[in-house]
Amino acid sequence: MKTKHLIPLMAGLGLLCACNSKHGSEEFVRSSADTAKIDNKMADTTIAPKLVKTADMRLKVKNVQKTCEDVSALTIGYSGLVLHHKVESSEIRSTDTRKSEDSIIRVTAFSTAAEITVKIPSDKLDEFMNKVERMGLYVNNREMDISDKTLDYLSAKMKLKNRAELIAQQKAGKVVIKNPANVLLLKDDMVDQQIGNRQIDDAVKNSIVSLGFYQSNTIFKETIADDDPSSYRPPFFSRLGSALGKGWLMFEDVIIGIGYLWVFLLVVLGVIFIMYKFRKATVVIKG
């Protein structure tokens, strides 16, 4: 009896396993087909390598100002653009020597350096760097880096394509996006990806070059007015005559001041006289 019930049960389990195997294989086939579609889609999206070049160089030159002018002219000659230009002079030390009573000779030692950032067509980068190098006395450092932005560009391009297809389906009514704000965000993402790829295209086409120049310390001599007020004094005899005249005036002021104090002087003299008489009388009595 038990055997009769066991046989149909085993048959049912076998049929169930067979169904599950069938569904599993169909799911695998679908996944493989989807993967093949994705691979074909990626294979269709082919782009040229996106290599971004940047360069940096620092060198000593004979004249910083002239070198900056030459580099600017060379950049324009290559249809480039000067993005940043800075010239700075720093005082190292200075000394002052008196030339006359109201002027001094100031000798100043200072250093001069410059920073320039330019944008140059990438196919002319090496040629440009070589010409700039020949402008200097010697090079402290020269570097060039290459960044591969191909995958970033491809990723943005494929995402942009997917978003464009979704927007097209939404317009055709095949896809319904309930929140209109999501549509706006989607379109903003598409704009950002387009701008990002355009920036990569520009970076591939034009390289950014950072240049630094400096020269030997320079000595500058100039005659300037003495800014110390104590230096502007009259001659000795003139100051002596002025002192004698002021001394007499001070003496007159003292006499006049004593005149204002005659009452106090009279009282003091009276007190002294009384004390003197008192002491003299005391001495007589004791004697």
Per residue in 271-286, pLDDT tens? 888 887 777 777 666 6
Does 133 score more than 90 pLDDT? yes
Does 242 score more than 80 pLDDT? no
Give me the mean pLDDT over the 186-212 stretch: 91
Predicted local confidence at residue 236, as pLDDT:
66
- 45 or 253: which carries more pLDDT confidence? 253
Give me the mean pLDDT over the 137-154 stretch: 94
Residue 142 lies in a domain: yes
Does 168 score more than 70 pLDDT? yes
Rounded Cα distance, 21 and 27, in Å: 10
Does 137 score more than 60 pLDDT? yes
Does 72 score more than 90 pLDDT? yes
Give me the mean pLDDT over the 183-197 stretch: 85
- Of the spans 16-30, 164-178, 206-220, 256-270, which averages the highest pLDDT? 206-220
Residue 77 lies in a domain: yes
Give me the mean pLDDT over the 39-58 stretch: 77
**Left (φ > 0), alpha (ψ -120 to 50) or beta: where does 206 sit?**
beta
Residue 186 lies in a domain: no
The radius of gyration computed from the CA coordinates of the chain, to the nearest angstrom, equals: 49
> What's the number of domains the chain is made of?
1
- 212 or 156: which carries more pLDDT confidence? 212
Residue-wise DSSP of 109-147: EEEEEEEEEEEEEGGGHHHHHHHHHTTSSEEEEEEEEEE
Domain residues for the domain of 115 are 51-148+206-225
Give me the mean pLDDT over the 97-121 stretch: 89
Name which of 224, 186, 55 is nearest 128 in CA terms: 55
Residue 189 lies in a domain: no
Predicted local confidence at residue 254, as pLDDT:
79
What's the DSSP call for residue 233?
Answer: -
Does 74 score more than 90 pLDDT? yes
Residue 92 lies in a domain: yes
Going along the chain, which residue ranges are E strands? 51-60, 81-100, 103-121, 138-148, 206-214, 218-225
Residue 158 lies in a domain: no
Residue 195 lies in a domain: no
Residue 57 lies in a domain: yes
